[in-house]
Amino acid sequence: MDDISKINQSNGSGELPSDPAGTLPGRMALFEHLSGSEEEGEGGGDMLIPFAFEETLCRDVGAGLAPPSVHLWSHPGGVALGLRDSRLPGAGQAMQSLEARGIRTAVRHSGGAAVPLDAGIVNVSLILPKNRGTLDFHRDFRLLAALIAEAAGVSHPSAAAQVVAAEVAGSYCPGDYDLSIGGRKFCGIAQRRQSHAYFVHAFVVVSGSGRERGELVRRFYEEAAQGAEGLDYPRVRPETIGGLGELGGPDSAAVFASGIRQAVAARGTELVRASELEAETGYRLGYGDPGVVEAAKMLRERYAR
């Protein structure tokens, strides 16, 4: 069984230090599935397809079939739940309420708690092979956190200089490596391990209202908990969430995604787009790939409430 965990770990000060050990590979494949883009393609509306895509890509990276990779994606509108969320007494009813409003729901396999997904939220994943020796996931979390701050700094350096890494109390899906500006969280980081590879993943709230997204998750928990006492779930305060655009940073998913590409390149890493990788090596993986569709089906069956 794959080891699933969410180990958000800060250095205690909230600073994002330059860690010489936290380097990127010299060459990485770039897969992009931003909402509404041509690359999103078939299956983009299925909540579990992006997670299944990364699960499949991670296996291929571990097997040496694909190089280390960066995946940038968004979803047109949904809420991804953690496994514990799905076990709340009224979770099924709360999920139906969201679906009735046109908001897709699914239970994800990478741990953590409920997070909204929409076109203004950019998900960033680094998919890396396991090397011999002890893995330092704290280093990888610091690396991704620094990369996100650097991406924001491409267009808005003053905002990037204010990014803090520390848990934001009252936020949804809280963790020690929440990224915030002025006390309002715009990003959370998690990871998932497989036998021979792993990925470090972040959701980044870029455009739109952080408060509205926080209210969406707060209302889900209110309905899912059904007033029961002693349940373990985040007590969300919507005012603790902010979008980068509200916090003085980039206010466009496209601008932020461009910042990620530039921040990766600035670290000396060559990014090879998926189409170039296919022409070069014959490796191809898309949302409509039968292996990805099958993986989504498996995740749905395994983690459905």
Active-site amino acid positions: 173
Q: Write the DSSP assignment of 150-214 as a string of letters.
A: HHHHHH-HHHHTT-EES--TT-SS--TT-EEETTEEEEEEEEEE-SSEEEEEEEEE-SS-HHHHH
CA distances to 55, 264, 271 from 127, rounded to whole Å, are: 10, 14, 13
- Nearby residues of 157 by Cβ (< 8 Å), 6 or more positions away: none
The two tokens of residue 128 are: 């890396």
What is the rounded distance in angstroms from the CA atom of residue 287 to the CA atom of residue 289? Answer: 6
Kindly report the three-state secondary structure assignment for every residue of 127-143.
EEECCCCCCCHHHHHHH
Packed helices 253-266 and 137-155: angle between N→C axes, nearest 10 degrees: 120
- Beta carbons within 10 angstroms of residue 34's beta carbon: 20
Cβ(252)–Cβ(74) below 8 Å? no
The two tokens of residue 132 are: 């011999």
What is the rounded distance in angstroms from the CA atom of residue 229 to the CA atom of residue 174? Answer: 20
Cβ(239)–Cβ(171) below 8 Å? no
DSSP 89: T
What is the rounded distance in angstroms from the CA atom of residue 156 to the CA atom of residue 60? Answer: 36
